[in-house]
């Protein structure tokens, strides 16, 4: 990932990624976006700053430096995979406390998971 992840993004565009919040943790969804600032109605020049933001595992942040610090570990995904991760994470948090996605900031203990067969 480049040093400036916003370099080629357009205002209003959203990009999707997945990342792990901790070593041996589950993949969580990330959405990255730019919102345009207020513009002068006649000249269309920016009056206020553009907002850079990300939603990481359901938590929104607009801290540009925090986003850039974490972005080097992100893997690009498409929108449908992002929506799938969101729905699985929501389901796990509501229905299955043992699912790794119910606590994404906790490492997965592979020895503690039930056998798949």
Residue 4 lies in a domain: no
Residue 22 lies in a domain: yes
Summarised one tens digit per residue, pLDDT across range 55-102 is: 988 888 888 888 888 888 889 999 999 999 999 999 998 998 878 888
Residue 105 lies in a domain: no
- Domain ranges, residue 86: 14-97
Summarised one tens digit per residue, pLDDT across range 9-61 is: 778 889 999 999 988 889 999 999 888 778 888 887 878 777 888 898 888 88
How confident is residue 6, by pLDDT bands cut at 50, 70 and 90?
A: low
How many structural domains does the chain have? 1
CA distance 101 to 26: 6
- Two tokens, residue 90: 């929501």
Backbone φ and ψ for 70, nearest 5 degrees, come out as -85, -25
- Two tokens, residue 107: 């490492």
Residue 9 lies in a domain: no
CA distance 26 to 104: 6
What is the value of pTM for the model shown? Answer: 0.77
Residue 18 lies in a domain: yes
């Amino acid at each position: 990932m480049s040093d400036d992840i916003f370099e080629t993004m357009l205002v209003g565009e959203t990009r999707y990624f997945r990342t792990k919040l901790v070593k041996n943790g589950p993949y969580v969804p990330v959405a990255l976006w730019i919102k345009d600032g207020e513009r002068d109605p006649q000249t269309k020049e920016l009056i206020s700053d553009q907002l850079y933001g990300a939603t990481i595992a359901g938590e929104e942040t607009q801290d540009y430096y925090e986003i850039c610090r974490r972005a080097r570990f992100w893997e690009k995904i498409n929108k449908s995979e992002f929506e799938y991760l969101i729905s699985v994470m929501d389901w796990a948090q509501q229905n299955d406390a043992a699912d790794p996605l119910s606590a994404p900031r906790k490492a997965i203990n592979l020895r503690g998971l039930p056998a798949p067969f």
